[in-house]
Amino acid sequence: MPYLKITSTFILLLFSYLVYGQKADTIVTLREALLLAEKNYPLLKSKHYETEAAKKDVALSRNTIIPSLDLSYQANLATYNNITGMLNPSGIFPISGPPSAENKYQPVFGSAAGFSMNWQAITFGQREAQTAYAAAGVTQKEADLKMELFRHLANVTNTYLDAALAKQLIAVNQKNIKRVEFALIQSRTLTSKGLRPGVDTALFQSELSKSRIDLLNAREKFDTQKILLSQFLATVEDVDTKDSLFFEQFPQTRSTISSDFSIHPYINYPKSLEGYSLAKEKLIKRSYLPKINIWSTAYARGSGIKYDGTANSVDGLGFSRFNYGLGFQIVYPLLKFSDRNLQIQQQGLMTQSIHQKLEENLLILDKKNQISQVTYNNAFLIATETATQLQSAQYAFKAMQIRYNTGLVNFSDLIQAQYNLLKAETDSRQSYWYIWKALLNKAVSQGDINIFLNELK
């Protein structure tokens, strides 16, 4: 008896864990799912950060109008042997001062400190072109973000519809199992009375197993769609669908074909790439214009060598000479015309390539829009027929049940009627799903997800 009590307690605890310990799925409407996806999905966050980074590039371009002001200080300990003549200072530190009569290897201290200001005052439009190029980069990143957001919201909606259909098909299969179980009970009763052959019971048992397998497959499909949906929403727990509207009514909008793709994200993105390329062309043209730099400096130096050649090393740590200067510089690349023309031609070809991709996108969207309209119209016609199909299949099955119970038809006739009813119920659910899918494709082809969402009222 103690053993049985312990075993019963363990089973009760295990059952309680299985029932209550498992975390329930998060149930969301489609609108809630779209908000979660927009908020959580990592790729969208990445695109947002890229956009913000591009905005900083615009600020950096504008900051080039601010002059640079550098403060420097140095101290050294070195010999001061010098000689007259030209020297390329690459890799060699030159010595200031007159030539030395002889080499002396006793080092002395030297020091220097100063301010240096450099201002690129006039660029003949290059600074403005650089800022415009950076601003075009922001436009491109924003268009990329909107395109990725639109694509992702469409994927979420598509997966949500698939999950909702899978959930409906579970109910259809459960209903079918109940029919088979009822038929099995009737078959056993009729067999026991000798009114039906015993093989019918075995056949109904086989059909019950097939129906249960179909239910398991339907549940697997639903669980898979929930996992995919949670992936698109970037949530840890699985997500379940809530909206039943998709299988209760049809969309009210009978949208027509529109050839206006001016707001379509799949068009605005290549347009932004084209604008980015044109801005780069302008920047290349301006980069070969002259530049005027204004500079100024003020500095002090100290040396351990006095003007008469006497040395006192520590004197070099203090400053003894002070100077300042102010000037301007004009820089003009005289021999870069060939490079400039080649770069402009190269970038012009890139712009033409992007424009042709834009034309291809317009062509594809126009044809997809036409196809989506055909599909949408056809989906309504199919839904009308499936309603008739379901009504006829329900009537035929009930009639066939009565005829089977009275011995007028055999097992095959009843099972065929049951298959027809199961298919009609499945087709009915799918016809609703097919219409909403067609509307989603219509919204995607026109670049406005609100065409779909406005029907959810």
The answer to whether position 133 is within a domain reads yes
The per-residue pLDDT for 74 is 93
Average the pLDDT over 122-144 and give the result. 93
Average confidence (pLDDT) over 160-189: 90
Q: Output the CA–CA distances (angstroms, integers) from residue 30 to 24, 178, 457, in the order listed.
A: 18, 31, 12
Q: pTM for this one?
A: 0.82
329-337 CB contacts, 8 Å cutoff, 24+ apart = 329/292, 329/293, 329/294, 329/295, 330/290, 330/291, 330/292, 330/293, 331/290, 331/291, 331/293, 332/289, 332/290, 332/291, 333/288, 336/288, 337/288
b/e sequence 212-228, b meaning 16+ C-beta within 10 Å: bebbeebbebbeebbeb
Report which of 288, 284, 289, 287 is spatially closest to residue 350, judged by C-alpha positions: 284
With respect to residue 296, please indicate whether it lies within any of the assigned structural domains: no
Instruction: Work out the pLDDT band at 167, boundaries 50, 70, 90.
Output: very high
Which residues form the domain of 346? 25-66+123-290+332-453
Q: What is the pLDDT of residues 380-423, one digit of tens each?
A: 999 999 999 999 999 998 998 888 888 788 888 888 999 999 99
- In whole angstroms, what is the distance from residue 150 CA to residue 293 CA? 47
| pLDDT at position 4 | 38
Confidence of residue 48 (pLDDT cuts 50, 70, 90): very high
Does the pLDDT at position 8 exceed 70?
A: no
Give the CATH number, domain containing residue 226: 1.20.1600.10
* Residue-level pLDDT at 24: 63
Q: Is residue 327 part of a domain?
A: no
- Give the mean pLDDT of 243-267: 82
Per the model's pLDDT, the better-predicted residue between 209 and 20 turns out to be 209
Identify whether 318 is part of a domain: no
For the residues 349-372, what does the mean pLDDT come to? 94
Does a structural domain hold residue 71? no
Question: Does the residue 285 lie in any domain?
Answer: yes
pLDDT, average across residues 269-285: 94
Domain membership of residue 176 (yes or no) is yes
Dihedral-angle region of residue 268 (phi above 0 means left; psi in -120 to 50 means alpha; beta otherwise): alpha
The number of domains in the chain is 1
Does residue 254 fall inside a structural domain?
Answer: yes
Per-residue DSSP letter, 63: G
